[in-house]
Structure 1
Amino acid sequence: MTETTLPGTREPGTGGPLVSGQGVGDSARRPDATLKVTGEFAYASDLWLEGMVWGATLRSPHPSAWIRSIDVGPALKLPGVLAALTHEDVPGAKFYGLDRKDQPVLAIDQVRHVGEPVALVAADHPETARRAAAAIVVDYELRDAVTDPRESRDVVRHQPVRLGDTFEAEVVVTGEYEVGMQDQAFLGPESGLAVPAEDGGVDLYIATQWLHVDRDQLAPCLGLPPDKVRLTLSGVGGAFGAREDLSMQVHACMLALRLNRPVKIVYGREESFFGHVHRHPARMRYEHGATRDGRLVYVKADILLDGGAYCSSSPAVVGNAASLGVGPYEVPNVRVEATGVYTNNPPCGAMRGFGAVQACYAYESQMDRLAEACGLSPVEIRVRNAVSQGSRLITGQVIDSPAPLADMLRELEALPLPEPLPEPLPGEEQPADLRSMPGGVSQATRGEAVRRGVGYGVGIKNICFSEGFDDYSTARVRAELIGGEPHVTVHTAAAEVGQGLVTIQAQIARTELGVDDVTVATADTTVGSAGSSSASRQSYVTGGAVRAACLAVRERFNGLPARQALEAYGPIEETREYRHRPTFPMDRDTGQGSSHVQLALCVHRAVVDVDVELGLTKVVELAAVQDVGRALNPQALKGQIHGGSAQGLGLALMEEIQIRDGQVLNPSFTDYLIPTILDMPPMTMKILENPDPAAPYGLRGAGEPPTLSSTPAVAAAVRAATGLRLTRVPIRPEDIALFDKGHDKGVSDGKRA
């Protein structure tokens, strides 16, 4: 792995000396690192309390049906079963939802997707609870299901973008593209522990991304005021957007309140596939028009997103797909139609880079086709149309911070390529290292039909919440003397989901207050909201709040070092909210409006070896150039770029929830494939630091952009190796190997039947 970081400018604290390597700009060590590596870290699934019982959920086996009756009697007859609940037992509101309250706590008179919760049970053992759930008898009357989004007439949101009026050009390329349904595939399944409280409320210890919005959805369903529903963040084993929506939260609380006993619910892997939202699958049609020398004249795009049975965050996904639908390119004339619809497929919602990921695959595929039509290289076509600071997006929003896309592409192109294809040893029929070949140590290929391809991808992603959302975070900072030494406690409700946010908060406190000894308190709802750990926003917004609270504390030091100030004035505590600059909704008819806070760019180059006869692939190298504004923790930042790139690679080549007639066919990690260490290649990274003057420390959210550009880069490399159009991801072996040597691969689109 080769990594290059351009130096940034450290902003030292003024409250006193710092221990080297622990402030902003340093690769400070994660406080949970050793526990996670040794397996000792406590995740939500590890929670235990004396007297607790186990909950389980009965789910619909049908994508669409009326419910004629539910009989919980057989479940209650099993020894050890303590309760069995249906929608009639919901103590408050029967519906909840992130954007619209359209999702039932438990199915009432109908089910709308396979896996919809229908009834709950509690028992003294988890296996007893699962058997009891299976014993419940539900009388379903099946009805036709809408599983093809093209047939749906139930629209969640339609967002057009209109710009200019010229839609003729010298060179025109069109394409139809598909993106499959991707799962977030976090390693820690949904889990939590609900504990009834003496005041009639409930305490929930939960793995989530958004404590306060969970609470605000839970309280009405439980018939309780918000102050009687208290949430504390437990260990989170990954999230990637899937934990923005409720899963077992309300069910565990209902059972705990009914039994007046602690109730724990932990999903198994199969249930986890049904218990959370997924990435929206997409169908897209694009038309690009350009001059003969490759200057874009217009883009037309029709983007259809399958939101599944419930709304979740689909409106925001549609908004991102529309506003970022042509990529980071200057285009004077645009017609975009972005639509999200309801179907009877599993619900879809937030996943890393949502909306922008789907559109990026299509517009980048189009840029490659346009390059070919104009006789230009993939890099040159992008450079000629690249945005820069001062450019306008298709929504009219001005890019008002550094956006050196053309330079990033040139730097990426200049990075050294990996060594050529390995040759077999003398007298041998296979390469020296089978791991370097498509198919790996399975020895499926000997290398005789292996071809190498190189592809490029560019992505632009919005940072923070958009379209007028009141996006803020709250931080409470307390400085005091403990054992005669200065100590700082930082308390926010921001969810640490593996991205290193706890580390960043401590780094900011050390930098601003000059105090080495910093504790980041467990996130809970006793402090003001920090919003969701999504949209690459927490370093920006919660980092901004922590910094603001620290500055308020430091002001009360009256210029003294921390120890002297605390000796003179005693403990000092300050709470601050931080809001970024305002955003505005997109116009419903034209799509115009400054809808985003900040924009981030990442560019990828992929080198892929393909056995063109067997359809096997091996990603040899991923190279990335990303502008992060300022790196607060370089090591953690590199991890984010690695992780985002891996998820993009997975979407390109292997990850897809396969659905037939509304049924999920592969709800396990045996059949739903994610990249392993053998699939993920070495990465060359060049990290640029061009500060955004409007952001705390000049930072630019960095976790999502790599997910956008890695997918089209890998797909482009496979196309380059095979000559196939390959208009759908993930690309599977049969998409490549179905075509024999005599087939006109330059014309084929490589679609699956």
Structure 2
Amino acid sequence: MTVSETRTSGGAVTGGVGDRPVRPDGTLKVKGQFAFSSDLWTDDMLWGATLRSPHPRARIRDIDLSAALALPGVHAALTAADVPGATHYGLEVPDQPVLAVDEVCYQGEPVAIIAADHPETARRAAARIAVDYEVLTPVTDADAALAAGNLFRHVPVRRGDPHAGADVVVTGEYQVGMQDQAFLGPESGLAVPADDGGVDLHIATQWLHVDQRQVAACLGLPVDKVRLHLAGVGGAFGGREDLSMQVHACLLALRTGRPVKMVYGREESFFGHVHRHPATMRYEHGATRDGRLVYVKARIVLDGGAYASTSPAVVANAATLGLGPYEAPNVVMDAYGVRTNNPPCGAMRGFGAVQACFGYESQMDKLAAALGLDPVEIRRRNAMTTGSVMPTGQVVDGPAPVARLLELVRDRPAPPAASGDQREWPGGVANTTHGESVVRGVGYAIGIKNVCFSEGFDDYSTARVRLEVAAGEPVVLVHTAAAEVGQGVVTVQAQIARTELGVERVTVAAADTTVGSAGSSSASRQTYMTGGAVRAACRAVRDRVLARVGEGSRSEGGLRLAGGKIIDVPGVVVADLAEVLGDEPIEETVQWRHRPTHPLDPQTGQGDAHVQYAFAAHRATVDVDTELGLVRVVEVATAQDVGKAINPQAVLGQIHGGTAQGLGLALMEELQVVDGLIRNPSFTDYLIPTILDVPPMSVEVLELADPHAPYGLRGVGEPPTISSTPAVVAAIRAATGLSLSRVPVRPEHLTAALLAAAPNPDEAGVRRAEREVP
């Protein structure tokens, strides 16, 4: 169990909603003492390893396990023929094989698994497995896949006149590369066979119950014989929504009768989970001469790779949010998700909205330039507000402070010019520039994201709350299956319990499948959903306590609990809570749902598909060395409406982290996939921002309550990632004058384009000097 600590002041309970209690995992993580799933250990444990396909596409003629099984210390070697239950699994479509059946469809697809008494023995045994492949030509081009009908989903959105004209028209084609979640804790877990013929799986995941359902089906076991326990998670960002080694570890444990641990290395991790969908987008924006949008047309193609994962939902997000937080009376939007032999893609922070935002925000800057308007002003003139109608026909009935967020970042003081400190120039401590060809630029962007699951999905969370007396004082136990992936949901549950019950001592039980589902820690939904469930369960407990007190407990305003006392509205003590409870604990389990959503019309894309919308704006300031193509992000200013900051410290952490992830996509993060082969599966070649790359951040937090949400809160985790990428690229465009239609922006994109634009090197130097900051 994880105990969330709090402090009291003057007898009043603190650490409730709006406070900043210390996270129970914070100190342990800072000191390197936190137990992650890769630290799991048990006596008599075996180690699992996976043999993966080296080919993006090939037919399997034969698999010979004999050499692997002959190696001393090897206890099992399994292939698809050894899967006792369903041979395929999947979040939305069960199309992904547990182990390859007859054919491999992407590089890294699991073909066989090994259990041995030492991890190195397991790896050596996997390398001894002989697979006879007939290599086939892979389909790796998304447009070719679309033309061939390899389609996961097409979502059309139609609103208004599809043939509307406009005074000013701008078009653009944009690309987004394949981004990896790059979580620091690779896939790992421990499967322990049980006496009842089932298995206990200790796993780092985002969604315990959906894992349980898929694992049980593949094992051919009843769901109640597959018990999942959340182990320490080293980050997720969507990459742990799909299965990785869950079924494999359980298969090996049940076959050998011994616990089996599996831990991916960093390279294997790049092959072991889904990635952000690469995208190609074509946009056309038409506007009046005063800058009002008349129409938007767009075609978005997302490469889903070999298997469906969450591609259908990602496509829907790209389509329904593809206009951005703007009003346009006429919309023609088509989003496609296609199947290729590239690595599978699925959920990643921002979930379809990231790709679309880079497209529509690039277009808004183009439109501003064509009309001679300020980039913020063109956005303000078209900003949606409360009551605006989405392209899907859904009315935005919560706060939509789009213009205000833009104004907040615009009005922040500008960062100072770089000093003589080498660390403040592009290239930093590498000492690659002295500032002679460095120019500064400022860029803006704002994005929109849905919160919670959509399109009629039965999205709910379950919470069990128990109030009892221990050592003479009341204590609360909160139990949910919400996956703590670093976002602080454990702390949030304790805060809500303290607020609702007024009891200082709150314990949050470890998440597992012995309580009802909490859904996934994704879609910025856990605080909304599990927070709502905990609040509802606490209120049910409180009602039962007040019923014990007797008549008067149902008066207007009711009685409430505070500091271990039951008090009425004026604050007169009625009874000591410990005396009221005695030896009879009160426990309530509540399944809580948000307001309903509805499927999209398959022909028009119309429908109230989303629960809630969230908004964030960014202003990025960059210095660019135009000779070397180096970029330094000097400062990022951001503003976001969070509805209600349940934990202000955690809110800031989410905004900082999300912004850094968007910065990574803007400048460095891309899995290089050539002919279906990943060329950079390591942190040596797949670059992520370090502390030296992340600039100072100025954060403005609005708390405009959503009337439909618990405490008025709004999901926080994804919006910062969405608009930070286009803001950084807009700033580079402002500095260099280049169009820059692809992310990440690499040095050669800057230097090659600038040289090509200049008739001679001298003129290139003049152009750079004109843009230099004094």
Normalised by the length of structure 1, the TM-score is 0.95
Q: RMSD of aligned C-alpha atoms? A: 1.2
* 1:659 and 2:673 aligned: yes
Contact 1:557 1:566 in 2 (8 A): no
Which residues of 2 match residues 697-716 of structure 1 at below 5 A? 697-716=711-730
Check the 8 A contact 2:667/2:746 in 1, yes or no.
yes
Q: Is the 8 A contact 1:629 1:689 kept in 2?
A: yes
CA distance in 1, matches of 2:81, 2:684: 37
How far 1:568 moved relative to its partner? 2.7
1:696-725 Cα deviation digits (max 9, x unpaired): 000000110000000000000011111110
Matching residue's letter, 2:152:
V
Structure 1 match to 2:348 = 351
Structure 2 counterpart of 1:387, from 381, 384, 387:
384
Residue 190 (str. 1) matches residue 187 (str. 2): yes
CA distance in 2, matches of 1:735, 1:370: 23
Pairwise CA distance, 1:628 = 0.4
Distance in 1 (alpha carbons) for counterparts of 2:57 and 2:191? 31
1:443 CA displacement: 1.0
Shift, 1:408, TM fit: 1.5
Contact 1:288 1:296 in 2 (8 A): yes
Q: Secondary structure at the match of 1:739?
A: helix
Whether the 8 Å contact between 1:18 and 1:515 is mirrored in structure 2 is no
The residue that corresponds to 2:316 in the other structure is 319
Residues 546-561 of structure 1: pairs in structure 2 closer than 5 A: 546-558=534-546, 559=559, 561=561
1:237-293 residue CA offsets vs partner (Å, 9 max, x unmatched) = 000000000000000000000001000000000000000000000000000000111
1:294–1:374 Cα contact (<8 Å) kept: yes
Task: Please report how far the alpha carbon of residue 412 of structure 1 lies from its aligned counterpart in structure 2 after TM superposition.
Answer: 1.4
**Distance in structure 2 (CA, Å) of the matches to 1:644 and 1:460:** 14
- Match among 485, 505, 523 for residue 535 of structure 1: 523
Structure 1 residue 346 displacement after superposition: 0.3
1:61 aligns with 2:54: yes
Gaps of 5+ in 2: 1-9, 547-558, 566-575, 765-774
Counterpart Cα distance in 1 of 2:618 and 2:192: 47
Q: Measured at CA, do residues 600 and 744 of structure 1 come closer, stay the same or move farther in structure 2, by a change above 3 Å?
A: farther
| Structure 2 counterpart of 1:604 | 618
Residue 491 of structure 1: aligned partner: 479
* Equivalent residue, structure 2, for 1:99: 92
Aligned to 1:3: none
- Asked if the contact 1:270–1:667 (Cα under 8 Å) also holds between the matched residues in 2, the reply is yes
CA distance in 1: counterparts of 2:747 and 2:505, whole angstroms: 54
Deviation by residue 1:498-543 (Cα, 9 ceiling, x = unmatched)? 0000000000001111111100000000000000000000000000
Q: Mark the runs of 5 or more structure 1 residues left unpaired by the alignment.
A: 1-15, 423-430, 749-753
Deviation of 1:555 (Å): 1.0
The 8 Å contact of residues 106 and 306 in structure 2, kept in 1 or not, is answered as yes
Structure-1 separation of matches of 2:260 and 2:425: 50
Q: Does 2:66 correspond to 1:73? A: yes
Matched with 2:692 is 678
- In 2, the alpha carbon distance for the partners of 1:560 and 1:722 equals 61
Taking the aligned partners of 1:31 and 1:512, their CA distance within structure 2 comes to 20
Deviations 1:149-174 (A, max 9, x none): 11102100000000111431110000
Q: 1:469 to 1:742 in 2, by over 3 A?
A: closer
1:11: which partner in 2? none
1:452 and 2:449 matched: no
Structure 1 contact 468–584 (Cα < 8 Å) conserved = yes
Q: Which moved more, 1:261-270 or 1:552-561?
A: 552-561
The structure 2 residue matched to 1:130, chosen from 103, 112, 123, is: 123
State the alpha-carbon separation in 2 of the partners of residues 119 and 566 from structure 1.
58
1:565 lines up with 2:577 in the alignment: yes
Distance 2:444 2:396 in 1: 23
Which amino acid in 1 is paired with 2:282? R
- In structure 2, the residue corresponding to 1:409 is in which secondary structure? helix
| Percent of pairs with identical residues | 70
- The answer on whether the counterparts of 1:566 and 1:572 sit within 8 Å (CA) in structure 2 is no
- Separation in 1 of the partners of 2:537 and 2:735? 54
Match of 2:267 among 270, 280, 292: 270
Task: Give the number of aligned pairs.
Answer: 721
Tell me the alpha carbon deviations over residues 638-661 of structure 1, each in whole angstroms, 9 at most, x when there is no partner: 000000000000000000000000
Instruction: Output the CA distance in 2 between the equivalents of 1:284 and 1:699.
Output: 33
1:351, 1:553 → 2: CA distance? 37
Give SS of 1:78's match: coil
Partner-residue secondary structure (3-state), 1:557: helix
SS at match of 2:671: coil
| Cα offset, 1:407, TM superposition | 1.6
**Per-residue deviation, residues 593-614 of structure 1 (Å, max 9, x unmatched):** 0100000000000000000111
Q: Is the 8 A contact 2:738 2:753 kept in 1?
A: no
CA contact (8 A) 1:147 1:345 kept: yes
Q: Secondary structure at the match of 1:68?
A: strand
Residue 19, structure 1, aligned to residue 13, structure 2: yes
Measured in 1, the distance between the counterparts of 2:110 and 2:137 equals 20
Which residue number in structure 2 is paired with residue 412 of structure 1?
409
| Match of residue 768 from structure 2 | none
- Verify: 1:476 aligned to 2:464, yes or no: yes
- CA distance in 2: counterparts of 1:574 and 1:739, whole angstroms: 64
CA–CA distance in 2 between the matches of 1:443 and 1:487?
58
Q: What secondary structure is seen at the aligned counterpart in 1 of 2:54?
A: coil
Give the whole-Å Cα distance in 1 for the aligned partners of 2:229 and 2:408: 45
**Equivalent residue, structure 2, for 1:593:** 607
Equivalent in the alignment of 2:154: 158
Where does residue 296 of structure 2 map in the other structure?
Answer: 299
What's 2:23 paired with? Answer: 30
Aligned-partner Cα distance in 2 for 1:411–1:40: 40
Worse-superposed segment, 365-374 or 413-422: 413-422
* Contact kept? 2:626, 2:754, Cα under 8 Å: no
Report the residue type matching 1:117 in the other structure: P
Report the Cα offset of residue 421 of structure 1.
3.5
Q: Which amino acid aligns with 2:173?
A: E
Structure 1 residue 744: deviation in Å?
A: 5.5
Give deviations 1:12-43, integer Å, cap 9, x for gaps: xxxx96433x1100111101111111111100
Partner of 2:424: 436
Question: C-alpha separation between the residues in 1 aligned to 2:560 and 2:635?
Answer: 52
**Is the 8 Å Cα contact of residues 384 and 402 (structure 2) preserved in structure 1?**
yes
Q: Whole-Å Cα distance in 2 between the matches of residues 113 and 316 of structure 1?
A: 22
Match of 1:180 in 2: 177
Distance of aligned partners of 1:286 and 1:552 in 2 relative to their CA distance in 1, 3 Å threshold: same
User: Shift of residue 740 of structure 1?
Assistant: 4.3
Query: Counterparts of 1:632 and 1:481 in 2: how far apart (Å)?
Result: 27
Distance 1:35 1:459 in 2: 35
Distance 2:503 2:462 in 1: 21
Match of 1:255 in 2: 252
Structure 1 residue 483: deviation in Å?
1.0
Could you tell me how far apart the structure 1 residues matched to 2:714 and 2:754 are?
Answer: 47
| Contact kept? 1:494, 1:532, Cα under 8 Å | yes
Paired residues of 1:421 and 1:452 also in contact (CA < 8 A): no
TM superposition shift of 1:482: 1.0
Q: Is the 8 A contact 2:597 2:610 kept in 1?
A: yes
CA-to-partner distance for each residue in 1:555-589, whole Å, 9 max, x for gaps? 12214754633433321100111100000111101
Aligned to 1:615: 629
